[in-house]
């Protein structure tokens, strides 16, 4: 009897050893994931049992019940997170479970470009195949209300940056993240601004930065252009900046800015109205914000594009110098045209 009991105990021990070895091998063996990877969508509220069945149906794992039971006994089954996962070739069942528990979901990107208007941002979001569309407007004022922003217009309220987000993120959620990023950079720029700027608030600095952003794509010129506008404000001169006129024209602008356009009064026409316009005209980047907060010193009150085609400008301290620079620009432009 004792001999039989010993044999039974030995058999049980051997079975347990073999089972443990098999389980270890099962958990640590590479899964048959294609070289291109495997996309796994885990819905909210999904169980590990359901996920294991899906993986088995797709030929990624065998014995789904074993994975589900292991997850339950290890305490991991209740901790898996919903989302989109991309499993790489060579991953093991244990590694897969670790991924699900850690929530290492696939991240997608959206780039909000410097100088974009609200309309351009919304149009780009509408083209995203990953973002969930919940917005009901592309109007800057209506969008500010929908997002609960403090300012009456959403124009300029989002920081140009590349944002990473998981599938299932809504356009509203992403815009709120971009707005918080903008608020942080704006607060920093305002707190460190140069003394004696003719700006009454951080919002006015944001408006100025948006104009600087639309006036030049050259980072080195932004402080110079900000300096021109600051000196104009200090002297009570009209800003006379074309991008604000174009913004005020909206859909009426056909790509060719005319004298009639410059004389058409809107709240954003800085040829007909003094001071800054009532809202930003685009989304300024960090460089434009810093340029508005720290404009370059100097005497220049005017600038005009060069004919070099590189986006650069010539700066002048007097109207006479500016008119000469304009004539030079026109001559360079004419010379660059095919004969």
339 residues of the chain, pLDDT tens digit each: 565 555 545 445 444 444 456 557 788 889 899 999 999 999 988 999 999 999 999 999 888 988 999 889 889 999 999 999 999 999 999 999 999 999 999 999 999 999 999 999 999 999 999 999 999 899 999 999 999 999 999 999 999 999 999 988 999 999 999 999 999 999 999 999 999 999 999 999 999 999 999 999 899 999 999 999 999 999 999 999 999 999 999 989 998 999 999 999 999 999 999 999 999 999 999 999 999 999 999 999 999 998 777 889 999 999 999 999 999 988 887 777 766
- The reported pTM is 0.84
Q: Are 225 and 212 in contact (CB under 8 A)?
A: yes
224 with 274, same domain: the answer is yes
Mark which of 159, 185, 211 sits at the end of a domain: 185
Are residues 93 and 127 both part of a single domain? no
Q: Tell me the residue range of the domain where 78 lies.
A: 25-102
Q: What domain count does the chain have? A: 3
Are 98 and 146 in the same domain?
A: no
User: Do 111 and 98 share a domain, yes or no?
Assistant: no
3-class DSSP state of 313: strand
Does any domain span residue 52?
yes
Last residue of a domain, one of 102, 132, 154: 102
Residues 211 and 134 in one domain: no
Quote the Cα angle for 285-288-293, to 5°.
130
Residue 207, domain member (yes or no): yes
Q: Are residues 137 and 266 in the same domain?
A: no
Three-class DSSP labels, 175-244 = HHHHHHHHHHHHHHHHHCCCCCCCCCCHHHHHHHHHHHHHHCCCHHHHHHHHHHHHHHHHHCCCCCCHHH
Residues 172, 204: one domain? no
Q: Are residues 144 and 37 in the same domain?
A: no
In terms of domains, do 284 and 300 share one? yes
Query: 212 lies in a domain?
Result: yes
- Domain stops at, among 75, 102, 129: 102
């Amino acid at each position: 009897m004792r001999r039989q009991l010993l044999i039974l105990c030995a058999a049980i021990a051997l079975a347990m050893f073999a089972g443990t070895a098999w389980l270890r091998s099962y958990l640590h063996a590479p899964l048959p994931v294609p070289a291109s990877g495997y996309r796994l969508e885990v819905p909210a509220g999904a169980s590990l049992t359901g996920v294991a069945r899906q993986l088995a149906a797709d030929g990624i794992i065998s014995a789904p019940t074993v994975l589900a039971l292991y997850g339950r006994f290890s305490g991991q089954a209740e901790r898996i997170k919903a989302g989109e996962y991309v499993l790489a070739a060579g991953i093991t069942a244990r590694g897969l479970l670790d991924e699900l528990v850690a929530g290492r979901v696939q991240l997608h990107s959206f780039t909000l470009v410097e100088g974009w208007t609200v309309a351009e941002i919304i149009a780009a979001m509408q083209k995203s195949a990953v973002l969930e569309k919940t917005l009901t407007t592309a109007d800057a004022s209506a969008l500010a209300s929908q997002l609960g922003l403090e300012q009456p217009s959403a124009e300029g309220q989002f920081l140009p940056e590349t944002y990473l987000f998981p599938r299932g993120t809504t356009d509203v959620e992403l815009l709120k993240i971009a707005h918080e990023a903008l608020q942080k950079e704006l607060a920093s720029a305002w707190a460190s601004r140069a003394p004696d700027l003719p700006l009454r608030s951080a919002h006015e600095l944001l408006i100025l930065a948006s104009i600087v952003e639309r006036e030049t794509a050259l980072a080195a010129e932004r402080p110079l252009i900000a300096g021109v506008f600051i000196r104009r404000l200090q002297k009570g001169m009209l800003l006379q900046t074309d991008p604000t006129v174009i913004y005020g024209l909206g859909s009426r602008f056909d790509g060719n800015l005319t004298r009639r356009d410059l004389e058409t009064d809107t709240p954003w026409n800085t040829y007909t109205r003094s001071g800054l316009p009532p809202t930003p005209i685009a989304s300024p980047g960090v460089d434009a914000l810093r340029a508005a907060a720290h404009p370059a010193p100097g005497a220049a009150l005017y600038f005009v594009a060069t004919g070099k085609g590189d986006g650069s400008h010539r700066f002048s301290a007097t109207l006479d110098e500016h008119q000469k620079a304009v004539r030079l620009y026109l001559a360079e432009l004419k010379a660059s045209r095919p004969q």
